[in-house]
Amino acid sequence: MKLLLRNAKYILTLDPQRRILTNGSISIDEGRITDVGKSDDVLARQKGEQFERVIDCSRRLLMPGLINTHAHLHENLVKGLFPDNIDTTTWTLEWAYPYFHTIEPRDEYASALLTSLEMLRSGTTSFIESGVEYMKEALEAVKKVGIRAALSRLAMDRPPLNPPHTWPTDLVDKLYYDSAEKALADQETAIRLCKEEGTDRTIGWVALIGKRTCTKELYVGALELSQRLGVGYHFHMASSLEEAVATEKEVGCWPITFLENIGALGDNAVIAHAVALKDDEIDILRRRGVKISHCPGSALKLAKGMTKIGKFPEMLDAGITVGLGCDGACSSGSMDMVREMYLAATVHGDARMKASTIGAETAVEMATIHGARAMGLDNEIGSLEVGKKADMIAFNLQQISLTPQHDIVSNLVFSSNGQNVDTVLVDGEELVVDGKIVTVDVQEVIEETLIRAPEVARRASLTRDSRWPVS
């Protein structure tokens, strides 16, 4: 289909020169960008072309679709259920794992649908998943929504020595593999399923829960498997000071050094969080070409120590790819990548009492071109350039919060949110039109979630007591 987005008030190209075009236009054919430039130039070059659809963008900002480099599809059914005042270990062991243990394929599908819709509606066109339990159902939901995704299956093979006494007796058997070999075989099966039943927009990746839940054999085997299959390798690591200290007690070093020592780091690895790093570990990540998914929203909500010990500006200075991620809807509270841009642009400057740290332009790069690099797709997405896939979004600028516009990048990061997005294209296909998702009946999904979410909480015996009286 030939498509013309014309007369955009602004286009953030994110091309190598980082050009911002005023009154710009973009033409698309067969899902790829065929022209981008000032409107007069594009219209002159495209003269005589027959466009099947022309979208007026005179009140819009066009930019590449946002790329969420760390997203949990199955967390959305428990958004708001886990207490806000618990640390990462309590959150994971006493709340998340009992929930994971409980969910059934139909829950996976419902949560994946809701999460994909939340991302798409707020301007995310691609994401890296962090490990589902039921790949078939997750894949179905993602395909239905039309968003681009790297999907993976959840894996861990090292249960805690002293699990919480509240764990159901079969939780360990259900969530943990009893050997790295079995975990890797299931990973390969899940990747094959994605290949056989997926689309051009979906790819299977290797993923581990990571942190202290996996054996050395599983870390090293996962890297080898991903390299053999030519896919990415994604896991949580160095997520908090608490984890780093516990790792040091056990193996004598912090988590990134541990991974380096066992040979588990490669240039296709994307590590989520990486909050607890020592200075020399930045160099390890740089040398190995490891990509980082920085998730400021969940780090703040779970009090991981990001503002106190995080070294994200230093990683960027070292030339490391640092994408942004929302983590799960339960751990961060939101799948809105615009919010993550705002946090990345602000919290590190505050921690160092230096306002020039990171800033708006770098935050936008992290959410787009860095994300594309993390996915291994920077030749295809992450910027608006001729030949790239037409994954792009438009912000409606005709709003109080976005008026006036002295600096459009500043507006985008500090004065906007994902609900200001009113158009989303993936492969040149319009998935959000005038703020409405066109691939799925959203109202139906909301109604279904409102029934299913309390049901799954009940089955998992998870209840949250309000600190204020509810009558």
**Interface map 432-461 toward Zn ion (x if CB under 5 A):** ------------------------------
Residue of 75, 260, 327, 391 that binds Zn ion (CB under 5 A): 327
CB of 63 vs Zn ion, minimal distance in Å: 26
Taking the least distance from each CB to Zn ion, the nearer of 154 and 372 is 154
Residue 367 C-beta: closest distance to Zn ion, Å: 17
The window from 218-226, 319-327, 364-372, 450-458 that contacts Zn ion (CB under 5 A) reads 319-327
CB 122 to Zn ion: min, Å: 18
243 binds Zn ion (CB under 5 A): no
Measured from the CB of residue 130, what is the shortest distance to Zn ion in angstroms? Answer: 5
Stretch 114-133 residues interacting with Zn ion (CB under 5 A): 130
Nearest-CB residue to Zn ion?
327
**Which C-beta is closer to Zn ion: that of 130 or that of 420?**
130
What is the contact mask toward Zn ion in residues 278 to 317, using x (rule: CB under 5 A)? Answer: ----------------------------------------
Q: Nearer to Zn ion by C-beta: 130 or 368?
A: 130
Give the per-residue contact string, 130-169, with Zn ion (x = CB under 5 A; - = no). x---------------------------------------
Please state whether beta strands 202-204 and 148-151 pair in parallel, antiparallel, or not at all (unpaired).
parallel
Residue 75 binds to Zn ion (criterion: CB under 5 A)? no
Site string for Zn ion, 3-42 (x = CB under 5 A): ----------------------------------------
What's the closest the beta carbon of residue 213 comes to Zn ion, in angstroms? 12
Residues that bind Zn ion (CB under 5 A): 130, 327
